Amino acid sequence: MMLHIPGVLGADQLREARALLDAAEWVDGNVTSGYQSALAKRNMQLPEDSPLARQIGQTILAALGRTPLFIAAALPLKIFPPLFNRYQGGERFDTHVDNAIRVLKGSEFRVRSDLSATLFFSDPDEYDGGELAVEDSYGVHSVKLPAGDMVLYPASSLHHVTPVTRGARVASFFWIQSMVRDDGARQLLFDLDRSIQTIAADRGHDDPAIVQLTGVYHNLLRRWADS
- Is 110 annotated in a binding site? The answer is no
Q: Phi, psi (5° rounding) for residue 18?
A: -65, -40
For residues 117 and 105, the answer to whether their CB atoms sit within 8 Å is no
Identity of the amino acid at 69? L
Dihedral (CA of 118, 121, 125, 130) sign: negative
Q: 3-state class of 121 per DSSP?
A: coil
- Is 169 annotated for ligand binding? yes
Interacting residues of 25 by C-beta distance below 8 A, sequence separation 6+ = none
* Separation CA 151–CA 30 (nearest Å): 22
Is 96 within any annotated ligand binding site?
yes
The CA distance from 68 to 18, in Å, is 24
N-term to C-term CA, the chain: 22
**Residue 98 marked in a binding site:** yes
Q: Please name which of 172, 142, 156 lies closest in space to residue 114, comparing C-alpha atoms.
A: 156
Summarize the annotated binding site as residue ranges: 96, 98, 159, 169
Summarize the annotated binding site for 2-oxoglutarate as residue ranges: 169
Summarize the annotated binding site for Fe cation as residue ranges: 96, 98, 159
